[in-house]
Amino acid sequence: MSLRVLIVGSGGRESAIAWKISQSKRLSALFCLPGNPGTAAIATNIKAGVSDFEAIASAVEANGIDMVVVGPENPLVDGLADFLKGRFPQLMVIGPGREGARLEGSKEFAKDFMSRHAIPTAAYRPFTKETVAEAKAYLGTMQPPYVLKADGLAAGKGVVIPDTLKAAERELDEMFSGKFGQASSKVVIEQFLSGIELSVFVLTDGKDYLILPEAKDYKRIGDGDSGPNTGGMGAVSPVPFADREFMRKVEERIVKPTVAGLAADGIDYTGFIFIGLMNCGGDPYVIEYNVRMGDPETESVMRRISSDLLSHLEAAARGRLKDETILVSDSAAVTVVLVSGGYPGSYAKGYPVSGIEEARQEGVEVFHMGTAEAGDGVVTSGGRVLAVSATDTDMVSAARRAYDAAARIEFKDSYHRSDITKDLLKYL
């Protein structure tokens, strides 16, 4: 059977998933809702918002969709998967229901889940406004820096790491006073883990799993990891320090108990799990779970999967992952994100973008993140505008190729980090 697939979302992650699925022999038609000018070249874009469940249901019905792949976390946390399955019992949905999405939607839920299933993570305690005195006493027992996390979704901004006790106490008061709205009515305080971060991605049907290529992203806006956090300024896969032994520990200590834990808790989970990890002296600890793929990690990860992603997704949706094998190429993939000047603060939109076709040379893909159509071309329409993703035999060559391609793209006040992969050279 060939499949009609709808991807929900409009960013670089969805662009890369669409790019990969579009190559599948199993595909008969591809739709993106809402998609972007990049996905328009390989799919039919459907105008609607990712939180407009009725519009998504209408798109499924009108286009005879067999499978929906949900890109972003918000609709998952709000129950899109349950809604679609309730409406269309035969529909394959990639993305967990509301219950499974709590792994990302509530830090306390995620931490309790890890503690219940003996999955290595930082020591922690949850607090509310009512227990603020205990929270401060707990802070007093810890060493700096302090890690404070808003319990709910806060668009990636809900984690604060003050260096002094005083700053931590002030931050706690601000969080309880609504700094992140409802998301910080509960706050998790946890032990600081020092090490180097990476992300591991799993596709699961709730019983079995495939481990996708791992990746490292670059969260800060400036070179040398300086300045404020962003959604992600670049990503590389594979990660040189994630050797066979480390990945074996990740699988045994984290992936297996996570999937088994979901089953033991009676949570029906079909979809991706993004595991944010800290490598602490060779041992992996979970920093966070996300219930979706990462952006821009996906742009690098998809470039390295050489087997048919759509076949894996179908197997996941049908509970048959046990029989699937994922093939990963030993090439390296490096993604550099081009952003609007001013991002992650305020920035202008609507600047014409040139050079995208010139940048697309051998080994290079340009994924749209925040662009809009304007006449024959595109203009900037978001903070993160384009992801330039290059593959080559090794990380150094892939980075060179990505930067060569990025140099061909122009828009007013364009900015990108110039040190993606540099911190990893010492591990080669």
- Residue 47 phi, psi (nearest 5): -70, 115
**To the nearest whole angstrom, how small is the minimum distance from the Cβ of residue 41 to ligand GLY?**
24
Residues 6+ apart with CB under 8 A from 414: 338, 339, 340, 341, 385
14 binds ligand GLY (CB under 6 A): no
Q: What 3-state class would DSSP assign to 369?
A: coil
Strands 226-229 and 209-211, sheet pairing:
unpaired
**To the nearest whole angstrom, how small is the minimum distance from the Cβ of residue 293 to ligand GLY?**
7
Closest CA to 232 of 384, 348, 18: 384
The contact pattern for ligand GLY, residues 147-176, with x = CB under 6 A and - = no contact, is ---------x--------------------
Is residue 34 within 8 A of residue 46, CB to CB? The reply is yes
**To the nearest whole angstrom, how small is the minimum distance from the Cβ of residue 159 to ligand AMP?**
4
**To the nearest whole angstrom, how small is the minimum distance from the Cβ of residue 199 to ligand GLY?**
7
Is residue 336 within 8 A of residue 388, CB to CB? The reply is yes
Distance CA 126, CA 145 (A): 18
- Type of residue found at 160: V
294 binds ligand GLY (CB under 6 A): yes
Structure tokens given for 208:
């079995």
Distance CA 163, CA 387 (A): 33
When CB distances are held under 5 to 8 angstroms depending on the partner's kind, the choice from ligand GLY, ligand AMP, none that residue 294 binds is ligand GLY
Q: How many residues bind ligand GLY (CB under 6 A)?
A: 8
When CB distances are held under 5 to 8 angstroms depending on the partner's kind, the choice from ligand GLY, ligand AMP, none that residue 287 binds is ligand AMP
Closest CA to 260 of 392, 114, 162: 114
297, 308, 314, 365: which one binds ligand GLY (CB under 6 A): 297
**To the nearest whole angstrom, how small is the minimum distance from the Cβ of residue 68 to ligand AMP?**
26
Report CA-CA distances (Å) from 153 to 75, 158, 176, 310, 390.
Answer: 12, 7, 15, 29, 32
- Range in contact with ligand GLY (rule: CB under 6 A) among 42-50, 159-167, 290-298, 371-379: 290-298
When CB distances are held under 5 to 8 angstroms depending on the partner's kind, the choice from ligand AMP, ligand GLY, none that residue 232 binds is ligand GLY
Structure tokens given for 186:
């509960």
Residues in the chain: 428
115 binds ligand AMP (CB under 6 A): no
Which residues, numbered 270-329, are part of the site for ligand AMP (CB under 6 A)? 276, 287-288
Which residue is associated with the tokens 């996708």? 212
14, 295, 308, 392: which one binds ligand GLY (CB under 6 A): 295
**To the nearest whole angstrom, how small is the minimum distance from the Cβ of residue 229 to ligand GLY?**
10
Exposure string for 94-108, b = 16+ CB within 10 A, e = fewer: bbbbebbbbbbbbbb
β-sheet bridge partners, residue 284: 279
**To the nearest whole angstrom, how small is the minimum distance from the Cβ of residue 122 to ligand AMP?**
4
The contact pattern for ligand GLY, residues 340-379, with x = CB under 6 A and - = no contact, is ----------------------------------------
Which residues, numbered 204-243, are part of the site for ligand AMP (CB under 6 A)? 219
232 binds ligand GLY (CB under 6 A): yes
CA 35, chain centre distance (Å): 17
- Range in contact with ligand GLY (rule: CB under 6 A) among 30-38, 45-53, 81-89, 289-297: 289-297
Give the interface with ligand GLY as residue ranges (CB under 6 A): 156, 217, 231-232, 290, 294-295, 297
Give the interface with ligand AMP as residue ranges (CB under 6 A): 122, 147, 156, 159, 190, 192-193, 197, 219, 276, 287-288
